[in-house]
Every structure is written in structure tokens, then in C-alpha cells.
Amino acid sequence: MREVSAGGVVYRKRHGTVEILVIEDRYGKVTFPKGKQEPGETIEGTALREIAEETGVRGRIVCPLAVVRYQYVHPREGKLVDKEVHYFLVEADDGAVRPQMEEINEVAWLPAREAWRRQREHGYDNNVAVLMKAFAYLGLEGGTD
């Protein structure tokens, strides 16, 4: 089986500080909003739709960041799934969060350094490179702590 998803590292600038939108998924891990591509949808459209659905935040794509590939066993079918996730850097237009509680436990805006710390301590290893690329584009320090 093959599954394609898209999402993003969403940011905003507030009072001179860059904030990153992070979610806690249903497994208790810190991550970024993402979800499955629907038939006929562009990968960019998927990313923006999933971000809005999961967090309530709307934005615009600034640039692609990375494609993360991994495998997992489908919980209901027991089949191995080849997963491909396209991540984009997304600038928020609207910062009001409304979490989709069926999908995630929590959503929050965090100062960039705090988002980095939480990702390192409670996130998925394959998201480190994604966040590092976002930090590099935004001119932020990351990867040093």
C-alpha cells in the first residue's frame, strides 16, 4: 500500500518573535499538522486543507521544505504502508486555533526556540530535518541544543 500526505510547519511573526504552530497528536507526540491527499487534490491543496482542518489556522505556502518517507503497519488491515509526507513552510494568515479534537490532542503557538525544544524532546525523529529547514529559511537558530 502507498499513502501520500501533506502538511506544514506553520509560522507567524508576533511582536517581533517568530512563533511555530505545533500539535500533539493522538499518540502524545509533538508534530506538525498533516493529512492524506484526496483524489484530484494538489499536494499543496492537501497541505493547506489539512492544516486548516486540524488547527483552524489558514495560511499561504512560502516554499517546500522536505518529503519524509517511512513505513508503518496499517492498524486495521495489518498491511505494510509506504508513507510519503510532503511538508511546506506556511505563513499563517489567521492565528486563531481551533483544534480538531478527533484527530489531535492539542494545538499551540510556541516561540521558535520552545517549538524546537519540544520537537527534540517529544517529537518524531524524522521531523527534526523538516524543522531545521524551516528555521534556516526563517533565519532562526536551531539544531544547536
Output the pLDDT for position 125: 93
CATH number at residue 125: 3.90.79.10
Domain range for 86: 2-138
53: in domain:
yes
Output the pLDDT for position 103: 77
Q: pLDDT (tens digit, 0 to 9) for every residue of the chain, 145 residues total? A: 999 999 999 999 998 899 999 999 988 999 999 999 999 999 999 999 999 999 999 999 999 999 999 999 988 899 999 999 999 999 999 778 888 878 789 999 999 999 999 999 999 999 999 999 999 999 997 654 4
Nearest to 84 by CA among 35, 122, 128, 119: 35
Count of other CB atoms within 10 angstroms of residue 96: 9
Which pTM does this prediction carry? Answer: 0.92
Handedness of CA 68, 72, 104, 23 (dihedral sign): negative
Q: How many domains does the chain have?
A: 1
143: in domain:
no
Q: Residue 123 to residues 26, 66, 91, 109, 129: CA-CA distances in angstroms?
A: 12, 17, 21, 16, 12
95: in domain:
yes
110: in domain:
yes
144: in domain:
no
145: in domain:
no
DSSP string for residues in 13-54: EETTEEEEEEEEETTS-EE--EEEPPTT--HHHHHHHHHHHH
63: in domain:
yes
Output the pLDDT for position 144: 44
Contact 33, 54 (CB under 8 A): yes
